Amino acid sequence: MTTQLCRLCLAALPKKAMLELLDMPSAAQHLPSKDELHLDRGTDLRIFECSQCGLVQTCQEPVAYYKEVIRASAFSSEMAAFRKKQLRKWVNKYQLVNHSILEIGTGKGEYLQLLQQAGLKVYGTEFGNSAVQTCHHLGFEVFKAFPDGSGLNLKDAPFDAFASFNFMEHWPHPKKLSEM
């Protein structure tokens, strides 16, 4: 058996998974119809925590649609208030008011709205066409891109800050970007 490496820091992962979920659905979206169900095959998920950087991860190849993952990140009013307070504190601490930020994996702009309310000039990247269109409709400048080296010709760079919420788990090989 080959040694599995952390997708973030490339350290060797433990030989034993911290959690094993056997015969799980192989997808979380684009589920098969009743007529296609007999073709569906489960997958065994083995979850590891890197002892060097702490990233919790699987070692499986990503699902075919990983660049266009639909995320459920709507906020309750309580969570929105908490995030606004948290982001304002962060913006003030690092003196980022009126500075630019690029959110990687912006989804439909949920965090762009909060970052803008915290005093930042916001930009985002997203791969899914529908999400990019939603962001544009909301007035945000969002680039259709995935951080794998394609589509990252960002005309408004450089940015003063970067953020990523609910995205890292969809990025199968983050170290490859640093190799480009």
pLDDT digits (tens, 9 = 90+) for 103-140: 988 989 999 999 999 999 999 999 889 999 999 999 99
Look over the chain and give the mean of its residue pLDDT values, rounded to a whole number: 85
Report the pLDDT value the prediction gives residue 168, as an integer from 0 to 100: 72
SS3 category, 159 = coil
Token look-up 């959110």 returns: 103
Long-range CB contacts for residues 8-11, cutoff 8 Å, separation at least 24: 8/50, 8/53, 8/55, 8/57, 8/174, 8/175, 9/50, 9/52, 9/53, 9/55, 9/175, 10/175, 11/50, 11/51, 11/52, 11/53
**H-state helical runs in 94-164:** 110-117, 129-137
Report residue 34 as tokens: 């009743």
Please give the average per-residue pLDDT across 173-179, as a whole number. 64
Across the range 64-91, mean pLDDT stands at: 81
Q: How confident is the model at residue 101 (pLDDT cuts 50, 70, 90)?
A: very high
Taking each helix axis as running N to C, give the angle between helix 77-93 and helix 110-117, from 0 to 180 degrees, rounded to the nearest 10: 50
Cα(83)–Cα(88) distance, integer angstroms: 8
Asked if residues 5 and 11 have their Cβ atoms less than 8 Å apart, the reply is yes
Of residues 61 and 161, more confidence is placed in 161
Quickly state the pLDDT bin for 91 (edges 50, 70, 90).
very high
State whether residue 56 is helix, strand or coil: strand
Q: Give pLDDT tens digits for 33-73.
A: 889 888 888 888 899 999 999 989 888 877 777 777 666 65
Which residues lie across from 159 on neighbouring strands?
none
Question: Distance (Å, rounded) from C-alpha 114 to C-alpha 97?
Answer: 13
Domain architecture of the chain: domains with CATH: 1-60 (no CATH), 77-178 (3.40.50.150)
**Rounded Cα gap, residues 22 and 6, in angstroms:** 21
Q: Is the pLDDT of residue 3 over 80?
A: yes
pLDDT band at 180 (very low <50, low <70, confident <90, very high): very low
Could you tell me the pLDDT band of residue 146, with boundaries at 50, 70 and 90? confident
Confidence check: pLDDT of 178 > 70: no
